[in-house]
Structure 1
Amino acid sequence: MHFGFSSYSFYQQLRAGNMTLLDVIDWVSASDATHLEIATVSLSPEISNDTSALDRSPDLVRAIKQRAADNGVVLSNLVVPADLVGENRSADFERLKRHIDVAAELGICLFRHDVAKWGFTVASIAEHEALLLRAADACRELAQYAAQYGITTSVENHGLWMNGSERVRRLIHLVDAPNFKTTLDVGNFMSVDENPVVAVAANAPFASIIHLKDFYVRSQFPGDGWHHTPGGSYLLGSIVGFGDLDMRGIMRGIVDSGFDGFISIEFEGIEECLTAAPIGLANAKRLMAEAVAAK
């Protein structure tokens, strides 16, 4: 296993202007992590609206590549939001292709993209099936484009529509490309009220990279800032190992699947991120070691 961070974990510092992405690379190099995943949304002032322009910033791309090489930090994954079933799907498709080019320039071998906006839902199973085929066609074409660079593309279990372990596996089956997998986020299944221990065990064999996160979970409204799931739970990001997810059960599912790739800590809690990140990394390594020893 190769433990590292998503740049999203440092969003507090990036948004406040206290750190740049180059500073994040320096910080990761000085930590016990070995890799960094670049999430373009972490370069935007709003989490919910990606206004980054990495695909139009060649000087920044060169600077990132040089800083990572100088610090011995592997750039593991490029994470780009998109909507491949909405009205602007053609523009988003072309934007994703440009970012695949960026990933190749950075020497990144993994590329994660969305297929729909976070809050998108469908009204009927018929609409779901029709859109699933449209999404599969777009994902297949992107995977074929990425193949020229030796890049594996993936869709994350993210948002309300393309979430849930079976939906993700069905999409992978329909795309049917050797370089199309899933970015497996162990916590996001909670957003659609699916048991993450069961879901991780089911989808880990199809993972190209794993996002490790934790949540506090409540059954009644605790106050502002908590995410409300369709099933009535309330979620708040936490330091990995501090929350209510069965992290030991999740780790067992990862180990049992034989996965041996990149694992990114994706912290999205309210604790100070430069404090939360090393604690979460240490907890993740300890819990994974326990799961390996118990196998």
Structure 2
Amino acid sequence: MKRRNFLKKGLQVASLPALAMHYPSRTLAGSNSNLKLSLNAFSFNAALRDGSVGIETLFDFCAGQGFAAVDLTAYYIPGYPEVPSDEVLFGIKKLAHHRGLHISGTGVRNNFTESDPVIRKGEIDLVKRWVVAAAKLGAPVLRVFAGPRLQEGMVWEEKAALVVEACRECAAFAANHGVILAMQNHNEFIQSAAQVEQIMREVDEEWFGLVLDIGSYSQADPYEEIQKNIRYAVNWQLKENVNHFGIQKPVDLAKLMPLIRDSDYQGYLPIETLGPGDPFEKVTRFLARVRAEMG
């Protein structure tokens, strides 16, 4: 389903025909006028986990760099995997607002390939609890995973059926809270554009999409894979490197950005830096590269 069809269906569900009178439809393809940069908090993973950087410091940095938003993974919210009190969630929302930032998304670490029904129900319940938390944070997207890489003897199609079933249930739940459930292709259970395509097609829920991770296509040319899946993107992870046939190479932004511009994607482009080094410096350098290519 193309994003523009998703949006049209969303308006029908919300029963808001009056919007068409004031905001006529327009062709989004080829326009990047409403692309905005966000920072994925995983760029500061080690510092956030060891406490040397806190959420407030992260927000201050993002505001100072002129980011429009922060993608605040739930791991960095005190108490995870438990959902904190409304006081904590609303406090984070207020911290962001006072710095002119939106929360472009959040995410959890889950495993929908788990065969044990009791454990799997726990994974689904984890996602549902954080759907509610995402709505309270004002995050439009909750990122989930499919699961880890297959172990020897496992059959991909059998595990994929479990993933699809769980995603349908969670996406239907998320729709009732105004949150888009988005699966990240993370080079674990999902490793190719064809696998993304199969899961997206079989889930077929209006409130389900893709967090397009440009660094996680390891079996083919990553730019060709991105182009195949871009119509499902509801959020992104723009990384410094792509995985070109299993080899890490610096992202070719001159090749990537036209793919995004020529799609109908509008919204946040979260960037993410990985590996050793000062995250403040690494993010600043990569942000400058992305901005230069965006023009």
* Letter in structure 1 aligned against 2:128: K
The equivalent position to 2:58 in structure 1, one of 24, 29, 53, is: 24
Once the two structures are superposed, the pairs formed by residues 40-189 of structure 1 within 5 Å of their partners are 40-42=74-76, 52-53=80-81, 55-86=83-114, 87=116, 88-117=119-148, 119-121=149-151, 123=153, 127-189=155-217
Separation of aligned partners in 1, 2:151 and 2:258: 31
Separation of aligned partners in 2, 1:54 and 1:5: 24
1:145-191 CA-to-partner distances (Å, cap 9, x unmatched) read 010122111111113222211111110100111111100011111xx
Separation of aligned partners in 2, 1:194 and 1:214: 18
Separation of aligned partners in 2, 1:199 and 1:53: 32
In the alignment, structure 1 residue 208 sits paired with structure 2 residue 239: no
Secondary structure class of the residue paired with 1:188: coil
Residue 13 of structure 1 corresponds to 47
Separation of aligned partners in 2, 1:12 and 1:31: 20
In the alignment, structure 1 residue 287 sits paired with structure 2 residue 287: no
- Is the 1:40–1:54 Cα contact (8 Å) retained in structure 2? no
1:234-279 CA-to-partner distances (Å, cap 9, x unmatched) read 54xxxxxxx5333322222212212122100111121210001121
How far residue 120 of structure 1 moved from its aligned partner, in angstroms, is: 3.6
Q: Give the length in aligned residue pairs.
A: 258
Secondary structure class of the residue paired with 2:72: strand
Determine which structure has greater relative contact order: mean sequence separation of CA pairs < 8 Å that are 6+ residues apart, divided by chain length: 2
Separation of aligned partners in 2, 1:249 and 1:270: 26
Kindly, what percent of the aligned residue pairs are identical? Answer: 22
Unmatched segments (≥5 aa) in structure 1: 45-50, 219-230, 236-242, 290-295
Separation of aligned partners in 1, 2:152 and 2:230: 26
* Letter in structure 1 aligned against 2:135: A
> If the length of structure 1 is used for normalisation, what is the TM-score?
0.81
* Letter in structure 2 aligned against 1:27: F
Separation of aligned partners in 2, 1:137 and 1:216: 30
Secondary structure class of the residue paired with 2:139: coil
- Is the 1:80–1:96 Cα contact (8 Å) retained in structure 2? yes
Unmatched segments (≥5 aa) in structure 2: 1-34
Segment drifting more, 92-101 vs 16-25: 16-25
Residue 223 of structure 1 corresponds to none
Residue 238 of structure 1 corresponds to none
The equivalent position to 1:262 in structure 2, one of 268, 281, 295, is: 268
Residue 33 of structure 1 corresponds to 67
> If the length of structure 2 is used for normalisation, what is the TM-score?
0.81
